[in-house]
Amino acid sequence: MIITIDDVRRYHCARGARQWFERHGLDFKAFLAEGMPAEVLLATGDLRAQQVVDAKRQEVTSEQRG
């Protein structure tokens, strides 16, 4: 599953996202352009990443159920 900046904005405040990516050694510009696999974000061990990924999973599951 790919997480995008729109997902971050939808599920969590995107303020400070650039600094968050830098702190975790992730490429923010690439994230903005292409999104990032959920597994990469989860590997940071950060609660915010977990919250965004969990919310996205719930959304996808709800859409699949119809």
2-49 per-position pLDDT tens digit = 999 999 999 888 888 999 999 999 999 999 999 999 999 999 999 999
What per-residue confidence (pLDDT) applies to 27? 97
Residue ranges covered by each domain of the chain? 2-65
What per-residue confidence (pLDDT) applies to 11? 85
Nearest to 31 by CA among 18, 19, 16: 18
Q: What is the 3-state secondary structure (H, E, C) of 14-38?
A: CCCHHHHHHHCCCCHHHHHHHCEEH
Nearest to 7 by CA among 66, 65, 43, 41: 41
What per-residue confidence (pLDDT) applies to 1? 96
Rounded distance, CA 54 to CA 41, Å? 11
